[in-house]
Amino acid sequence: MTIVVGFALFTVGACSKPLPEPESVDAQLYALRCNGCHPAYQPSLMTAAMWGATIDRMVQRQLPAAGTRLGVREREMIEAYLARHARGSVRAAEPDTLGLEGAGP
């Protein structure tokens, strides 16, 4: 029961924050294509490699089962967006975790 509650809280927290770069074409495409089957998760939840494997699985199994497919350019844009904001990427890190808070030019 504790694991289920913890996962539920994690999932809600992972989806409740706005996506990074919400006005960008890449973010909008990610939200549009992924929200059709599940919430568009925060890119920082996984590393770029993990996102690549997840997209592979979606393209091979889930999307065909749902009667849709992801175009090559769509996939490239979504993967690039997720990689830019993935866990471990510079953009995903908060400025204070990089030791830049209060640093001048």
pLDDT in tens, the chain (105 residues): 555 444 444 444 455 789 999 999 999 999 999 998 889 999 999 999 999 999 999 888 877 877 888 899 999 999 999 999 999 987 765 553 444 444 444
Phi, psi of 66 (to 5 degrees): -85, -5
Beta carbons within 8 Å of 17's beta carbon, 6+ residues apart: 42
Q: Where are the domains of the chain?
A: 22-93
**Category of 41 on φ-ψ map: left (φ > 0), alpha (ψ -120 to 50) or beta:** beta
pTM for the model: 0.71
